[in-house]
Amino acid sequence: MSGNAFRRLRGDWLVRTLQFFLLLLAFLLFMGISRVFPFFPPPYRVLSAAGELISGGEINQHLLVTLYETLTGFLIAIILGIWIGLLLGVSRTLALIFEPIILSGYAIPKIIFLPLLMMIFGVGLNSKIANAALHAVFPVILNTLVGIREVNGIFLKVARSMNATRVQTFAKVYFPSMVPPVFAGMRIGLGFCFLGSLLAELFEAKMGLGFLVAHFYNLGQIAKMLAVILLVFLLTMMINAGMKAIENRLSRWRATWKS
Amino acid sequence: MEELISVKRVSKIFEDSGVNTGGSVEAVGKVDFQVRRGEFVSLLGPSGCGKSTLLDIVAGLEPPTSGEVLIAGQTVKGPHPKTAMVFQSMSVFPWRTALENVEFGIELKGMEKKARRERARQVTQLVGLAGFEDKYPSQLSGGMNQRLAIARALALDPEILLMDEPFGALDEQTRFLMGLELLRIWEETRKTILFVTHSIAEAIQLSDRVLVMSARPSVIREEIPILLPRPRTIETLTTEIATQIERRIWDILKVEAAKGMTPDGR
Amino acid sequence: MAVSERIKVKAGQAAALLLFLGVLEWLVRKRFVSVLVLSPPSAVAMKMLEDLQGRELWTSLQVTAMEFLLAALISFVVGSFFGIVFFRFRIIRSALEPLLLAFYSAPTILLYPVFLTLFGLGSPAVVSMAVVLGSIPIMVNVSVGLAGVEPIFVKLGRSLNAGPWLMFRKVMLPAATPTIFTGLRLGFTYALVAVIAVEFITFSGGLGKLVSWRYFLFDTEGLFSAIAFIILIASLMNRLLQRTEDRIRKRWT
């Protein structure tokens, strides 16, 4: 086997071992913390609580509520976001004026708008959906904007040299070119939607995964609370992996392309 | 032989081309030349001299500031159906397979699917890429992708090929081989080719005539017929005559290229 | 961008803002939107002036500022430390890479109840959460920045027989500064967002708590005022950081 491949294989194995030890370390740390801090449960209790929640079905309702909020917010965010992104991408004037504003959206803790949303949409699910959409709309707008902007000028010249109509140019050059960045924006947006729903539920809600976390905290059932948090992270990872897989399939042609 | 391309007193001035130059840029001075049917003519000049702009004007992608271009007697007002262009850098679409890329032009024209596929296959074979139809550009080499670009242009069956330094991004050896490939395709299809390059060797290897251009604002300094026999092989290209031609062109270009090394290019 | 163009853009933004506020004002005045839901910008402006003269805003600002500065400082130290460790020991970086990537895509701020449990309600929990969120961009950018130093510079340093400390100070660090500074900007921005967000949700203090407090008290004008102040402060800090980064980049490239 060539020198590089051998080194890489050995390196991989080393990394895996290291990861294992780090995981062990984290586990021990976790256990140590539970000894020092009275309210903090040891890891096995968290895991068993997680198991209980799933098998007992206690979590199902709440999971569905949060997913509903997330997906609805997501739908709104992509419709709004892509539309605005296209608008800004097409008009240089609008982009010059509004792009800095959109960019600074990342620096502002958007959760503070939640009370506003609650006054407008009420205390129920709609305010959570609105919050999710608000969080997600920014990456979608920016990625769409960048997607249009970064369409290779040479490609447009090719289309022009062949007398392509505007519709043809959009459908056959702009659109395929924009799929990877727009989809990436959607992937990030979905994550933000999830976050937005959870935070809104944590603030004030009657149902949902965020509500469950607050609920268990208030009851002092910390093991269950941590279990829900753990499950949320696992869920995020699964959704992300799924989106990434779709994204890779759509961008199959990218490979080592340098434009 | 009739004049297929007629360039008459064409000049190009770019107004307000940006904050840096602060004012207009005269890319092309007064240029006049003709290309006869079936000829291979090169526009040779130092980098940045405006030869690409001139080609864009012939292609109908840029309007001339003065003068006009006639193709088969018709004034050029936009991309002319008798012409097809091959570009400088990677211009094939990465999201389409090789075959789909070749189809692009005829797809725009509305050729129906089966005929399109068939035609695209033929041309793909012509440029020597048979068997690679389903590969993506990212899986192909630079030379192969440029051949795709040529195939895409040929699929439209144009009478004229306008080529803007198509082999510029390739290394020297690949360039030479691609040149041979191009000559083979040219001889098979009998197209008229207007070829832009900054490489003297390339111009001599490929053309019937070389139009040597000056630095900005571009004008034609001299027209040099390449009276070397075809097919052009290593042997014919390293003869005494070939070397003389090269020396003569270099003498003209030396002055022009030096102008590009001073800050204001004058 | 030419000065005249920049002025036009600023004017355009000001115009857009005024238009937006004007529409809101009009909507409330004409009773299309209830005053309970939307305070007219004129009233909010008045309330903002009141707040500036009062005490509540300043005390809250003080709390948030202290939490933020502490979080920023600790993030800087922790981030730089681990960044250098990751750079020196590639294998640790490879091992932790999936975890770092996860932080970017996961709702990391959801970890705040952990800190609540550990430290109880109040500033320590807020600061801890902000440090977690703020140190990661710094970590990543420090290690990437150092690793991304042009090999030719490293070669140059070596050929001049520079010792490791000198190499670091005179070659690696300067070359990596733009990337590192971007990391600082991101890290500090995330830290501020985290501070205010956790203050808001946990009701612990500072500007975040001011917002939720006024919401629950039905002080609509006060609510808008608090939100406006937060927007102003966050935007200001972001602008400052961005300007500095742009200036660094301009000088460095």
End-to-end CA distance of chain C: 18
- Comparing CA positions, the residue from C77, C100, C115, C81 lying closest to residue A22 is C100
Q: Distance of CA C70 to CAs A136, A182, C166, C197, Å?
A: 29, 37, 30, 16
Q: Is residue A255 part of a domain?
A: no
Give residue B48's pLDDT. 72
Q: What is the mean pLDDT of residues B231-250?
A: 86
C-alpha span between B143 and B169 (Å, rounded): 9
pLDDT in tens, A64-102: 999 999 999 999 999 999 999 999 998 888 998 999 899
Q: C: neighbours with 3+ CB pairs under 8 Å? A: A
> Are residues A188 and C91, on separate chains, in Cβ contact within 8 Å?
no
Token duo for residue C5 = 């163009």
CA-nearest residue of chain B to A178?
Answer: B95
Question: Is 90 exceeded by the pLDDT of residue A45?
Answer: no
C-alpha span between C197 and C190 (Å, rounded): 10
Contact (CB, 8 A) for B222 and B68:
no
Segment A224-228 long-range contacts (CB within 8 Å, at least 24 positions apart)? A224/A49, A224/A52, A224/A53, A225/C113, A225/C117, A226/A41, A226/A46, A226/A49, A226/C113, A226/C114, A227/A46, A227/A47, A227/A49, A227/A50, A227/A52, A227/A53, A228/A50, A228/A53, A228/A59
> Are residues A194 and C109, on separate chains, in Cβ contact within 8 Å?
no
Give residue B137's pLDDT. 93
C-alpha span between B8 and B250 (Å, rounded): 26
Question: Is 50 exceeded by the pLDDT of residue A259?
Answer: no
Q: Supply φ then ψ for residue B60, to 5 degrees.
A: 85, 10
**Number of helices followed by number of strands (H, E) in chain B:** 8, 10
Same domain for A93 and A16, yes or no, is: no
Question: On the CB side of A212, how many CA atoms lie within 13 Å of its CA?
Answer: 24
Q: Is residue B240 part of a domain?
A: yes
Selected residues 215-254 of chain A with any CB under 8 Å from a CB in chain C: 217, 222, 225-226, 229, 232-233, 236-237, 240
Which residues of chain A neighbour C239 with C-beta distances below 8 Å?
104
Contact (CB, 8 A) for B122 and B169:
no
Residue whose entry in the numeric block shows the structure tokens 């959607």: A186
C-alpha span between C152 and A61 (Å, rounded): 59
CATH number at residue B228: 3.40.50.300
Rg (alpha carbons) of chain C, rounded to whole number: 22
Q: Does A160 touch chain B (CB under 8 A)?
A: yes
pLDDT in tens, C42-78: 999 999 999 999 999 999 999 999 999 999 999 999 9
C-alpha span between A19 and A13 (Å, rounded): 10
Give residue A14's pLDDT. 82
Containing domain of residue B57, as a range?
A: 1-82+189-266
Q: Is residue B216 part of a domain?
A: yes
Same domain for A67 and A23, yes or no, is: no
C-alpha span between C88 and A175 (Å, rounded): 43
Q: Is residue A88 part of a domain?
A: yes
Rg (alpha carbons) of chain A, rounded to whole number: 23
Chain A: give the shortest CA distance to residue C124, in Å: 15
Contact (CB, 8 A) for C74 and C130:
no
Q: Is residue A83 part of a domain?
A: yes
Give residue B27's pLDDT. 82
ipTM of the complex: 0.90
Same domain for A49 and A108, yes or no, is: yes
Quickly state the pLDDT bin for A163 (edges 50, 70, 90). Answer: very high
Containing domain of residue A177, as a range?
A: 42-250
Give residue B266's pLDDT. 46
For residue A232, what are the contacts with CB-CB under 8 A and spacing of at least 6? Answer: A198, A209, A213, C107, C110
Q: Does A173 touch chain B (CB under 8 A)?
A: yes
When CB atoms are compared, the residue of A154, A155, A162 closest to B108 is: A162
Same domain for A61 and A4, yes or no, is: no
Same domain for A161 and A230, yes or no, is: yes
Q: Is residue B222 part of a domain?
A: yes
Q: Is residue B165 part of a domain?
A: no
Question: Is 60 exceeded by the pLDDT of residue B19?
Answer: no
Q: Is residue B88 part of a domain?
A: no
Which residues of chain C neighbour A194 with C-beta distances below 8 Å?
107
Question: Is 90 exceeded by the pLDDT of residue A169?
Answer: yes
Q: Is residue A257 part of a domain?
A: no
Q: Does A157 touch chain B (CB under 8 A)?
A: yes
- For helices A209-219 and A222-250, give the axis angle rounded to 10 degrees: 160
Give residue A5's pLDDT. 64
Give residue A75's pLDDT. 97
Give residue B146's pLDDT. 93
pLDDT in tens, A184-208: 999 999 999 999 999 999 999 999 9
Contact (CB, 8 A) for B83 and B60:
yes
Same domain for A166 and A176, yes or no, is: yes
Average model confidence (pLDDT) for chain B?
87
Give residue A258's pLDDT. 44
More confident position, B13 or C82: C82
When CB atoms are compared, the residue of A15, A112, A222 closest to C117 is: A222
Same domain for A93 and A47, yes or no, is: yes
Token duo for residue C148 = 């991304």
Q: Does A98 touch chain C (CB under 8 A)?
A: yes
Q: Is residue B244 part of a domain?
A: yes
Lowest-confidence segment of A136-140, A183-187, B28-32 by average pLDDT: B28-32
Give residue A7's pLDDT. 62
Domains contained in chain B, number: 1
Selected residues 73-102 of chain C with any CB under 8 Å from a CB in chain A: 91-92, 94-96, 102
Helix (H) or strand (E) holding B233: none
CATH number at residue A147: 1.10.3720.10
Chain B: give the shortest CA distance to residue A160, in Å: 8
**Number of helices followed by number of strands (H, E) in chain A:** 11, 0
Quickly state the pLDDT bin for A13 (edges 50, 70, 90). Answer: confident
Bridge partners (DSSP) listed for residue B83: B160
Give residue B260's pLDDT. 65
Give residue B43's pLDDT. 93
Other C-beta atoms closer than 10 Å to the C-beta of C231 total 16
Give residue A38's pLDDT. 78
- Comparing CA positions, the residue from A129, A125, A134, A153 lying closest to residue A81 is A134
Strands (DSSP E) contained in A37-196 are none
C-alpha span between C153 and B18 (Å, rounded): 34
> Are residues C197 and A113, on separate chains, in Cβ contact within 8 Å?
no
Q: Is residue B180 part of a domain?
A: no
Within chain C, which residues score under 50 in pLDDT? none
Chain C: give the shortest CA distance to residue A74, in Å: 15
Q: Is residue B55 part of a domain?
A: yes
Q: How far is CA B118 from the centre of its chain?
A: 27
For residue C170, what are the contacts with CB-CB under 8 A and spacing of at least 6? Answer: C157, C162
Give residue B196's pLDDT. 94
pLDDT in tens, B82-139: 999 999 878 999 999 999 999 999 999 988 999 999 999 999 999 999 999 999 999 9
Q: Does C193 touch chain A (CB under 8 A)?
A: yes
C-alpha span between C179 and C56 (Å, rounded): 39
When CB atoms are compared, the residue of B85, B87, B138 closest to A256 is: B138
Average model confidence (pLDDT) for chain A?
89
Q: What is the mean pLDDT of residues A149-175?
A: 93
pLDDT in tens, A105-115: 999 999 999 99
Residue whose entry in the numeric block shows the structure tokens 């609105």: A130
SS3 B172: helix
Q: What is the mean pLDDT of residues A253-257?
A: 60
- Comparing CA positions, the residue from B233, B144, B148 lying closest to residue B184 is B233
Q: Does A212 touch chain C (CB under 8 A)?
A: no
Which residues of chain A neighbour C212 with C-beta distances below 8 Å?
115, 203
Percent of chain A with pLDDT over 90: 60
Strands B192-197 and B160-164: parallel
Same domain for A136 and A209, yes or no, is: yes
Contact (CB, 8 A) for C137 and C190:
yes
Which residues of chain B neighbour A183 with C-beta distances below 8 Å?
none
Question: Is 60 exceeded by the pLDDT of residue A1?
Answer: no
Q: What is the DSSP string of chain C?
A: --HHHHHHHHHHHHHHHHHHHHHHHHHHHTTSS-TTT---HHHHHHHHHHHHHSSHHHHHHHHHHHHHHHHHHHHHHHHHHHHHHHHH-HHHHHHHHHHHHHHHHS-GGGGHHHHHHHH-SSHHHHHHHHHHHHHHHHHHHHHHHHHTS-HHHHHHHHHTT--HHHIIIIIIHHHHHHHHHHHHHHHHHHHHHHHHHHHHHHT-SHHHHHHHHHHHTT-HHHHHHHHHHHHHHHHHHHHHHHHHHHHHHHHH-
Domains contained in chain A, number: 2
Question: Is 90 exceeded by the pLDDT of residue B252?
Answer: no
Give residue A255's pLDDT. 57
